[in-house]
Amino acid sequence: MKIITLHKPVSIDELYQHINQRLNPLFREQRQSTITFTITNTPAGIEISQPELYEGALFTIAVQDDELWITRSEHYVDDVNSITIESILNSLFDDVSDGQGTDLVQEG
């Protein structure tokens, strides 16, 4: 799990809306691909998946006040699509922190 601090509290709904609006267009632009990911706001957190290509969620993001607890599927850590999504997510997390930046608290 990776824990990122946003330096300001964010609601799960606000984060979900931002990811839902921006992830797929940015992914298509960066990878020149027509793949579309499913983004779902579940009780466990925001899940990002693509059932046609991957089994289960690629990422699950839980919000704990000003921290994001990010779980990445261990089966796809070297997958180029997963790496691209992670890069996009990092920029989207910076967006919701109002430009205050983010800190990596823990990775492992």
Per-residue pLDDT at 52 exceeds 80: yes
What local confidence, expressed as pLDDT, does residue 22 receive? 97
Domain that holds residue 8: 2-107
User: What is the rounded distance in angstroms from the CA atom of residue 45 to the CA atom of residue 102?
Assistant: 19
**Which contacts qualify for 30-38: CB closer than 8 Å, 24 or more apart?**
30/84, 30/87, 30/88, 31/80, 31/81, 31/84, 33/81, 35/81, 37/85
pTM, to two decimals: 0.90
Q: What is the model's pLDDT at position 104?
A: 66
64: left (phi over 0), alpha (psi -120 to 50) or beta: beta
Number of domains in the chain: 1
**pLDDT tens sequence across 59-83:** 999 998 889 999 999 888 778 999 9
At 101, is the pLDDT very low, low, confident or very high (cuts 50, 70, 90)?
low
Report the chain's mean pLDDT, rounded to a whole number: 90
